[in-house]
Chains A and B, each alone.
Chain A
Amino acid sequence: MNSIISTTGREIPDSTQFLNEDCSEVSRLVFSSEELYRMEQRKIFDKSWLYVGHESQIKNPGDFISAYMGEVPVIVARGGDGRIAVSINSCPHRGLRVCRSDQGNTGRFICPYHTWSFKTTGELVGIPQARKMGPEVDKSKWGLKQAAKVETIFGLIFATLNPEAPSLDEYLGDHKFYLEAYFDRFPGGLEIAGPPHKWDLKCNWKLPVENMHGDVGHAAYLHGALVAVDSPQNIEIEDYAVTAVAKDGHSAVFRLMPEDSTFEQRGVHSPHSSPELIEYLTEVERTVAERLSPAQARIKGMAQGIYPNLSLLWGQNTLRVSHPRAPGLIEYWSWLLLPVDAPDFIKEEIRGGYCMAFGPGGIIEQEDSYAWRLQFEGSTIDYLNDRPYFYGLGVGEEKPHPEIPGMVGKCYNEHYARRLYLRWREDMFGEENAR
């Protein structure tokens, strides 16, 4: 199988060596091949809508944050007119990053090499040497290149490098229902607190994504020292958890609580919650009907993901992006989300729960990152390239649901991952090669 792969950088012709027809078998090379990784940058990261930040991080004109679109560094900034601009962070003169800070407010970015200066939204303002040297430079031609399109939904800012990309609305499709169930749940909305946590993990970028797309199967097992298989939380998960794929590539995993469940049962995620947090979350659920449909109101979320690399952990209030750096290396960014209108002490408790369990200091996350790293090591064993990974749990069990969009599978059904790799195959090899 390995011999088919080009070492010259040319495109790999077809997908049959990597995935079987229904993606219930996934080759180890999907995670470890250098050629596939380079192809992913062109066919996925240069084409898709990518999450670059949250509106709460750039509220005022001149506010900016640094971000990445795949491997491409970008600046996400609020212009004087309130418009959000996403500029590629590389000087048109010699290529240096014109912004080398993570966040702030400024009128100008200045490239250190020859001090070309740019507005926060990317327009070239000054070339100090040009005043002393002709001919005149047409500054309008030499600004920072912009992302092809920028759109927002529920405060989430997405951008794409692809001028042919469909609208964000079309890109998300019916998955919007699940985004809305979380982002419209809190009466005052959600905002990002603090800068992101960033750390390198020696794993393929798709594995954390796949994990948060719906991998209920690892939860009480990999994290068994913290969440027991026979704990009330896990019993609730096994009773009610489903994964829903409303559009290939995106996915949501949640408990669809029974109609007679109480607001407290729907709202409270951690058994360690204080009485005050229980009261706050219960109150949120009590008013949810004003903002969401009855089916959305019964959703007690666990996680979801937007293709290709955005993930949300619902009960832990964290958004994360898996930035590709090499087949076996990601730069993982993780943000804390807080309900805007919650009292301060509630925000503090939510934050404490997040950083105890997640982020680089989290006791749950250290187990995930450990597993992801070991998966990459296993994926590099050439001798096993004729033994693809098994993704076949629950094949055929998923079906449409009368109340919620997409194909819905029970708890441990791995269709959320099969549909992710189906989308990956379409993007990488095209429709005609999808079989």
Chain B
Amino acid sequence: MNTVAIDFDATLVARVEQFYYKEARLLDERCLQQWFALVDESFQYSMPTRFVPHPDPKLQDTEAFLSIDRELDRADGPKGSPIRDDNYLGTFARTFRAYKTNGWSEAPAPRTRRMISNVEVTALEDDQYRTYSNFMMFYSHLGKDNHTITGGRRDLIKEVDGDFKLLKREVIIDMDIITAPTLALIF
């Protein structure tokens, strides 16, 4: 069997995956406040708006022609209108509003199941890591209002006391026109 030498720290990747599985389980079990404890105070959670740009003939025959980034509208200084652009305080508000009898759209609560996969980890300085991962969320509400939401995540995480904290998460959603009832969810 051929072996390929790659720079791969299996323990590190396994630890990051375990962190993501725990995170997904806390969210699916509606322990949003326990999940919030995994978030750093500098947290930024963003979701660019996805749109269909006009093909640029100048970029033909290069990968830039089909670049995903051309389809993403991010907060860019005063420009742009992303779907989500939350800081720590906004994230706090989202994790607490559901626990109220009059948080109507969550009472009764939707059922969710998050599958996390395709985890890639790159070590940066200061115990920080850049990660890529994919998610698939099954969202079920009001009996049989069922939806599957998929996307990619680009995170910045930091190792603190043997565990990880989320510093940044960018969610790249795969839908153009959103067919799920809401994206006011944590992916």
Contact = CB atoms under 8 A, between A and B. Distances in A.
Contact of A194 (B49, B54, B142, B176): B49
Interface string B32-57: 00000000000000010101111100
Contacts of A198: 176-178
B85 to A, nearest CB: 5
Interface stretch (A46-54, A165-173, A230-238, A363-371): A363-371
Interface residues of A, number: 49
Given A199-B177, A366-B105, A101 B53 contact: yes
Contacts of A221: 102
A347 interface: yes
A275 to B, nearest CB: 16
Contact of A331 (B85, B177, B183): B177
Interface string B79-121: 1111111110010011001001011110000000000000000
B83 A359 contact: yes
Q: Size band of the B side of the interface?
A: 35 or more
Nearest to A193: B81
Contacts of B77: 344, 348
Contact of A338 (B78, B105, B184): B78
A360 to B, nearest CB: 4
B70 to A, nearest CB: 10
B53 A194 contact: no
A370 B104 CA distance: 8
A202 B145 CA distance: 10
Contact of A355 (B82, B93, B103, B178): B82
A375 B103 CA distance: 17
Contacts, number: 123
B86 A356 contact: yes
Contact of A363 (B47, B87, B180, B184): B184
Contacts of B28: none
B52 A352 contact: no
Contacts of B82: 194, 355
A356 B178 contact: no
A195 B54 contact: no
B62 interface: no
A361 B45 CA distance: 12
Contacts of B142: 373-374
A195 B49 contact: yes
Interface string B174-187: 00111111111000
Interface in B108-166: 142, 145
A356 B80 CA distance: 15
B73 interface: yes
B49 A197 contact: yes
Interface string A200-218: 1110000000000000000
Contacts of B73: 194-195
A225 B47 contact: no
Interface stretch (A102-110, A137-145, A288-296): A102-110
Nearest to A272: B89
A101 to B, nearest CB: 4
Nearest to A110: B55
B51 A360 contact: no
B75 interface: yes
A200 B78 contact: no
A199 B104 contact: no
A193 B105 contact: no
Contact of B81 (A64, A200, A335): A335
Interface string A172-210: 000000000000000000000111111111100000000
A370 B85 contact: no
Nearest to B181: A369
Given A101-B52, A103-B53, A198-B176, A360 B102 contact: no
Contacts of B55: 101
Nearest to B179: A200
A200 B100 CA distance: 27
A344 B76 CA distance: 10
28 contacts: A101-B53, A102-B52, A103-B51, A103-B54, A104-B54, A105-B54, A106-B54, A194-B73, A194-B79, A198-B177, A199-B178, A225-B103, A338-B78, A344-B78, A348-B77, A351-B80, A352-B90, A355-B83, A356-B86, A361-B47, A361-B183, A362-B184, A366-B182, A369-B181, A369-B182, A370-B105, A373-B142, A374-B142
3 A-B pairs with the lowest CB-CB distances in the bound complex, closest first: A104-B54, A194-B81, A199-B178
Given A198-B178, A366-B184, A371-B104, 13 more contacts: A195-B49, A195-B81, A199-B179, A225-B102, A226-B97, A344-B78, A348-B77, A351-B75, A355-B81, A360-B178, A360-B182, A365-B182, A366-B181
